[in-house]
Structure 1
Amino acid sequence: MSNRIRHPGFAALRLSAAEAAQRIRHGMTVGMSGFTGAGYPKAIPGALAEHITARHAQGEPFRITVLTGASTAPELDGVLARVDGIELRVPFQSDPELRGRINSGALEYMDIHLGQLAEKVRYGFFGKVDVAVIEISAILEDGRLVPSSSVGNNKTWLDMADAVILEVNRWQPEALEGMHDIYYDGALPPARQPIPLVHPGDRIGEPYLSVPLEKVVAVVETDAPDRNSPFKQPDAASKAIADHLLDFLRFEVKAGRIPGNLLPIQSGVGNIANAFMQGLGESEFTGLTAFTEVIQDGMLELLISGKLALAAATSFSLSPVGIERFNEHAEFLRKRIVLRQQGISNHPELIRRLGCIALNGMLEADIYGNVNSTHTLGTQMMNGIGGSGDFARNAYLSVFMAPSVAKNGLISTLVPMVSHVDHTEHDVSVIVTDQGLADLRMLSPKQRAKAILERCVHPSYRDALGDYIERANRDSFGKHTPHLLAEALSWHERYRLTGSMLNPEAVG
């Protein structure tokens, strides 16, 4: 037996990826592991894509519904989209091939809050899950499963699926064992009980996943890395955003609204998030905690330095250098990292109870604080809402961040009206750009517009947006949230037609 498959019953089910892929058929709903490029199955999707191609060549239909935790990698989303093997994809994606097919209408995509998907599957809203394809690190002698670098919705897929395919990946560090905390509570309304977690580091479950042996139809051994993007040093705009945010947190501490070691931090992925973590590392703040979705390089370094006492998440998203750093400090980190299923890491009750500071990116915001984090020009899906909505509505502080301009200044991040609304003004506390920070708490709509204009808008667009606000206040049908409906989306239309939001008359 492989040293990663230490149970004889599971070992007897070993198959090649091609053989295992035969267990998946046209029309099935398949729950796959994976969250932000970590812990996704490495072999089955490619083998399945070859199987689908062969069936299509014979004139047979073959498309499946794919449920995951979040985004995966080209080896899963990309290969299945390329062979026209996906009928419906839920809940989040970032693969260019898949995104292109979503936006061309070639396949269906459902964007949903990450913290809600497992619940809705358990309620039966998606019908049955036919097959679960789950990457794990090892199978113990007693049959318990050691999760890999992400947990995501794996517990739900294992519980709900009629059949299970396991990928045991030797590449995943053995040091992962013991970092997980899988909460086993299958009660549905009205029989639910409160989740007994009052601190990010509380362990309320077990370190392992489990599945009845009789449900498992194949065990595939792999030795392949997660999708790892190199760590990018934060650019000037990201550093400026981080500085504005740190100054704001200092002000909140001084005002007595948050403690000196802050409140549990939730941070989205990307350059700005890493810049903020780097800024925290250089700041006076210590004894920090995180209750978040993903641990990136920046958060890992805070843990290693001791600035961050503990991080609870559902997944890693580390660069190759970050993985080396994790392996170097694995024993130290074992006591400081807790990986949970995303139904817990993104649970609204826990987010509100813990008083999280939610830091998320956006594509654009409008003058009243409505945020679009998913669609370009209101119609083209970028990636999805992810977990930002889970946190934004329930956080102690809900912060959205982005550079003030995009596409080398051709797009303004602050517009009269967002082209798509993911987070309404009611769920947004703070807007931050490289230009400054607007604290929107306790402000009326018109006061919000003034704060955003003065503090967040790029100089290239400040006069034009100020002119719109002035004329809207004067000429709008209603005066509470003034808009010129004929012009509210004109900036987006101008970009669509000319490739720039800048008004030629204003710059000419």
Structure 2
Amino acid sequence: MGSTRILNTQLLERVMSAEDAAKLIRPDMTVAMSGFTGAGYPKAVPAALARHIEETHARGEDFRIRVLTGASTAPELDGALARVDGIQMRLPYQSDPTLREQINAGRIDYLDIHLSHVAQHAWFGFFGKIDIAIIEVSGVTPDGQLIPSTSVGNNKTWIEQAAGVIIEVNEQQPEGLDGMHDIYYGTALPPRRRPIPLVHPADRIGEPWLHCPPEKVIAVVKTNAPDRSNAFSEPDEVSQQIAGHLIEFLRHEVRHGRVPASLLPLQSGVGNITNAVLAELGKGAFQNLTAFTEVIQDGMLDLLENGTLSVASATALSLSPAAVTRFAQNLGTFRERIILRPQEISNHPELVRRLGCIAMNGMIEADIYGNVNSTHVMGTRIQNGIGGSGDFARNGYLSCFMSASTAKGGAISRIVPMASHVDHTEHDVAVIVTEQGLADLRGLSPKQRACEVIKHCAHPDYRPMLMDYFERASRESYGKHTPHLLNESLSWHQRYVEQGTMRDPKWP
């Protein structure tokens, strides 16, 4: 493999194999790695490290590390290390099945925190010393600047905080990425903080490269491997119904003068439902939209291509294989319309509040009062994590949560008497949408909210059960402000755990 991507002589001298670089990592180290939603993560060193850990375990020696990232990564990183029992602690967000299984089995300590907090907490020292950072880049300039790849995440902080840095230079990342990034170096800790000078999603306030002192670089590894592409399916009927309800609500907000015709900056989580919403936005009802979000997925790429979306600010890409090809083929155009930033900027609560973002995120369940669980199944099993949804839910102009009304073939109601785990309290939730309808919860008391959620969002199979619970709670609850029957409030979840369904046999 040539060295056309490594144009700095000093760093070129530090090129070594992934196996040799992995041997620089020792047991009990804290290792920070690049990567956000399967984009821009190191491809070679984690796999080599997993093999090294497996060999060490075969000799009867313990070898586990603490892993910090930007968000989820891929099987070559999280999966590989989890399969060899190589992870002691992991933060802040994950989506790997093997890793999830080990977390829920209690074998890995998992810290689920807001994505906007990660860099700040690292600087506060909450995670202890960071021994090594492993950062994927798409190239190195002659003067040693690092050209980021398809995600930025926490890379700036990892490089600044780590004692040593391993750089993976991935020649499969498009060369045209140079210039797409905006790395802001003006953040500081209290009391030295200053306002971040960003007032529009298109604003560039930083530099296109990551800075890394050459003396920190302990290894450079050449790679040539693709990101993990997300295989999004075509929106199903349920997703399209949810999207339709939300689009009609946005039209209503425009008609009443609460948002402009071009809406406000959009934030959308990853998934088929949000892709369906983005597809509906592209059908001509809205123009000159902007996005200030975490990830750019297929639907947002479509809007950029057809001109519905003028600019998208994010921290990472999260594309299907077909969209990856389109992105590479039209990189010159996308480079003018996409800005990739550190996640401490893309998810910054003050910027979200300043810009007035419209937040659209998925959920696991919501209760009748509007409390949302986005992380735990049956209150105890972590699914992926809170990610950045809380950064946008509490601070956005509109906070919308979306889901099908049921799961597991109807055995689970997504609308329940009491959420089994609360990530977003009723105070941070403005709108709940299912295929059944939309509940606008703004300006409503708890009991008014309950009536709206049951009427508009619950599945007909569960609506009578929910109304019966609410009516009895309104009569018998210890307090009448937010009525609950404490001996029944989580009985739906317990029934599912014991019987495989939330349906009460007393109800037809």
Supply the AA of the counterpart residue of 2:438. L
Identity, in percent, stands at 64
In the aligned structure 2, how far is the partner of 1:214 from the partner of 1:125? 26
Q: Match of 2:91?
A: 90
Q: Which structure 2 residues correspond to residues 350-389 of structure 1 after superposition, within 5 A?
A: 350-389=351-390
In the aligned structure 2, how far is the partner of 1:37 from the partner of 1:408? 29
In the aligned structure 2, how far is the partner of 1:329 from the partner of 1:340? 20
Q: Match of 2:505?
A: 504
SS at 1:129 equivalent: coil
What do residues 288-332 of structure 1 show as CA deviations (whole Å, max 9, x unaligned)? 000000000110010010000000000000111001111222111
The answer to whether the 8 Å contact 1:304/1:329 transfers is no
Q: Match of 2:435?
A: 434
The answer to whether the 8 Å contact 2:232/2:271 transfers is no
Supply the AA of the counterpart residue of 1:126. F
Q: Which structure 2 residues correspond to residues 21-60 of structure 1 after superposition, within 5 A?
A: 21-60=22-61
Q: Match of 1:178?
A: 179
Q: Match of 2:133?
A: 132
Supply the AA of the counterpart residue of 1:184. Y
Q: Match of 2:215?
A: 214
The answer to whether the 8 Å contact 1:113/1:390 transfers is yes
Q: How far did 1:359 drift?
A: 0.4
Q: Match of 1:298?
A: 299
Supply the AA of the counterpart residue of 1:322. A
Q: How far did 1:186 drift?
A: 4.6
Q: Match of 1:444?
A: 445
Q: Match of 1:259?
A: 260
Q: Match of 1:411?
A: 412
Q: How far did 1:425 drift?
A: 0.2
Q: Match of 1:478?
A: 479
Q: Which structure 2 residues correspond to residues 183-198 of structure 1 after superposition, within 5 A?
A: 183-198=184-199
In the aligned structure 1, how far is the partner of 2:68 from the partner of 2:142? 30
The answer to whether the 8 Å contact 2:313/2:341 transfers is yes
Q: Match of 1:158?
A: 159
Supply the AA of the counterpart residue of 1:334. R
SS at 1:393 equivalent: helix
Q: Match of 1:101?
A: 102
Q: How far did 1:477 drift?
A: 1.1
Q: Match of 2:66?
A: 65
Supply the AA of the counterpart residue of 1:73. A
Q: Match of 1:423?
A: 424
Q: Which structure 2 residues correspond to residues 450-489 of structure 1 after superposition, within 5 A?
A: 450-489=451-490
Q: How far did 1:210 drift?
A: 1.2
What do residues 54-99 of structure 1 show as CA deviations (whole Å, max 9, x unaligned)? 1112222111100000000010000101111111000000000000
In the aligned structure 2, how far is the partner of 1:191 from the partner of 1:499? 54
What do residues 205-258 of structure 1 show as CA deviations (whole Å, max 9, x unaligned)? 000001000000100000000001223101111100100000000000000000
In the aligned structure 2, how far is the partner of 1:215 from the partner of 1:245? 49
The answer to whether the 8 Å contact 2:363/2:374 transfers is yes
1:401 aligns with 2:373: no
Q: How far did 1:107 drift?
A: 1.1
Over 4 Å off, 4+ runs: none
Q: List alignment gaps of at least 5 residues for structure 2.
A: none
SS at 1:168 equivalent: strand
The answer to whether the 8 Å contact 2:187/2:196 transfers is no
Supply the AA of the counterpart residue of 2:384. N
SS at 1:506 equivalent: coil
In the aligned structure 2, how far is the partner of 1:78 from the partner of 1:89? 12
In the aligned structure 2, how far is the partner of 1:348 from the partner of 1:22? 39
SS at 1:400 equivalent: strand
Supply the AA of the counterpart residue of 1:247. E
Q: Match of 1:18?
A: 19
